[in-house]
Every structure is written in structure tokens, then in C-alpha cells.
Amino acid sequence: MNPIIPLPPRPSSPAPVSAMAKHTLSSIFWSILGIVVSGLVGGIVGWFVITSLGWAGGVAGALVAAAIAMVVATGAWIAITVVLRSLGIVR
């Protein structure tokens, strides 16, 4: 038979503030701006590829453009982050 192990008492002090709660308004603004810029780059590339292939105007073209846009936007987000971190602008 397994013995019952009591749980430790709860701490009386509040938990420390999480990293998410420490974000400043400017940090959130720059993150949103980065997301918008990356999405814009991805959307433009997706649109360019679909119109170059002549698939514009159809559901299949829209789905392919969206998939291309998401992949390019993710790559743009990674590239922007790497450049900003290498320049020491972002920690």
C-alpha cells in the first residue's frame, strides 16, 4: 500500500509578476507593428506569386496565396528578429 504524502503549504505571499505582465505599452506596440509589417510582406509576396501564375480570382488561388503569405510572413518575422537582435536593438 502507498503511503499518503501531504502537500506542502501554500505560500502566503503573492506569486511574482510573470514576464507577460512586465511588458510595457511600447513593447506591445512594436510587436504589433512587427506582425503587421511581416504580414504585409507575406501578403504582397503571396499576391505577386498568384498573379504571376495567373491564378488570381479563384478559391484555389486564394488558398495558395494565403499559404505562401503565411510562410513568407513567418520568415520575415524571423529575419526581422534576427537583425534587430544582432544590432543590439532588441534583447
Decide if 63 is inside a domain: yes
Query: For residue 68, is it within any domain?
Result: yes
Residue type, 58: G
pLDDT computed for residue 77 by the predictor: 95
Q: Is the pTM for the entire model greater than 0.75? A: no
Number of structural domains (the chain) is 1
Q: What is the pLDDT of residue 15?
A: 59
pLDDT by residue for the chain (91 residues), tens digit each?
677 888 788 777 665 666 556 668 888 898 999 999 999 999 999 999 999 999 998 999 999 999 999 999 999 999 999 999 999 888 7
Q: Is residue 15 in some structural domain?
A: no
DSSP calls for the chain: -PPPPPPPPPPSSPPPPPTGGG--HHHHHHHHHHHHHHHHHHHHHHHHHHHHHT-TTSHHHHHHHHHHHHHHHHHHHHHHHHHHHHTTS--
* Contact between residue 39 and residue 62 where contact means Cβ atoms under 8 Å apart: no
Query: What is the span of the domain harbouring residue 63?
Result: 59-91
Residue 74 belongs to some domain of the structure: yes
pLDDT of residue 6: 82
pLDDT at 4: 83
